[in-house]
Structure 1
Amino acid sequence: MATGAEQAHGAAAPGMPQLDFTTFPNQIFWLVVTLVVIYLVLTRLAIPRIATVLAERRGTVANDLATAEELKLKAQEAEATYEKALADARAEAQKIVAEARAEINRDLDAANARAEAEIAARLAESETRIAAIRDTATENVRAVARETAVEVARAILPAAASDPAALVSAVDRRMEMEGGA
């Protein structure tokens, strides 16, 4: 029993409509038309836009690389200038340190010379005072020794006390032998 729809179509074999060989020429025509339209759209619109974008990117990359190279050269020049300025500053600092050191040494030598001169002057003055004190002390000792010798001689030998000049002369000789004069 066939239904009304089946009778209207006739006795068609059931199956997939894509595999119905009677519609192949029509499908092939529309396939070719679609491929030609896609080809034309791609060649006229999409591919030129893509090529333009790629060319712009290449140009941008090339410009960026050139700019980077310029900046690199400028940075190297700036670094060289900085290194030269740093070396000059170090040399100047060493020169200033050497000059300061030389000036300090000159001042130190002058101060040492003044101190040595002052010490020598004080030493000479002290030696002069010591010599004067020693001479005074020696004279005082001689005077006391003379007086003591005369007094002892008078006490022991009253006859020897009659010649005090001989006693004084004997005391002086004895002191000279001892290194007192």
Structure 2
Amino acid sequence: MATEATGAVEAAPGMPQLDFSTFPNQIFWLIITLVAIYLILTKVALPRIGSVLAERSGTITNDLAAAEELKLAAVEAEKAYNQALADARAEAQKIVAEARAEIQADLDVATAKADAEIAAKSAEAEKAIAEIREGAMASVTEVATDTAQALVAALLPSAKDADVSAAVAERVKG
């Protein structure tokens, strides 16, 4: 049995890749396979990859150029916007100043009119007060004269009414 097992080991073929008798055949097919892979890569795959890379490079370059143009356009638009904003602010300030001046002029006119009305009413009131004062003074003088005449007549029946009236008028004046 041991001899059979030993014979089986010798008769059993080993790995065909390591069999030196098949090396020339393996080298031939290796060269054929490598040449086929080389031809497929150089004629089919690499040109496609190259065209895709060239297209991507062109697209990236075009996109970068377009982005730069858009950036310049955005900068110009921002400058125009800032200028328009500054112009609008200046115009608004001008309008506000004009409105303030107009309102101040209207206010000055209204104030002058109110002052004139107040002065007129004040003059009328002073005139009315003066008239009332004169009327009151006349009434006070009359009452004082009547009272003084009655008192003097009761105390001194010989006194003249004209003298009493003159004395009362002098006393009321000052």
Same fold (TM over 0.5): yes
Structure 2 equivalent of residue 167 of structure 1: 164
Question: Within 5 Å, which residues of 2 pair with 1:48-63?
Answer: 48-63=47-62
Q: Aligned pair count?
A: 165
Segment drifting more, 150-159 vs 115-124: 150-159
Q: Which runs of 5+ in 1 are unaligned?
A: 1-10
Structure 2 equivalent of residue 76 of structure 1: 75
Question: Within 5 Å, which residues of 2 pair with 1:95-134?
Answer: 95-134=94-133
Identity, in percent, stands at 64
CA RMSD of aligned residues (A): 1.9
| One-letter amino acid matched to 2:50 | A
Cα deviations across residues 35-89 of structure 1 (Å, max 9, x unaligned)?
1222222222222221111111100111111111111211222222222212222
C-alpha displacement at 1:125, in angstroms? 0.8
- Deviating beyond 4 angstroms after TM superposition, the runs of 4 or more aligned structure 1 residues are none
C-alpha displacement at 1:13, in angstroms? 6.3
Cα deviations across residues 64-120 of structure 1 (Å, max 9, x unaligned)?
111111112112222222222122222222221222122112211211111111111
Please say if 1:153 is aligned against 2:158. Answer: no
TM-score (norm 1): 0.82
C-alpha displacement at 1:12, in angstroms? 5.8
Residues 1:145 and 1:32: Cα distance change in structure 2 (over 3 Å): same
| One-letter amino acid matched to 1:40 | L
Structure 2 equivalent of residue 36 of structure 1: 35
Q: Which runs of 5+ in 2 are unaligned?
A: 1-9
Structure 1 equivalent of residue 6 of structure 2: none
2:173 is matched with which residue: 163, 172, 176? 176
TM-score (norm 2): 0.85
| One-letter amino acid matched to 1:170 | A
Give the Cα separation in 2 of the matches to 1:152 and 1:68: 118
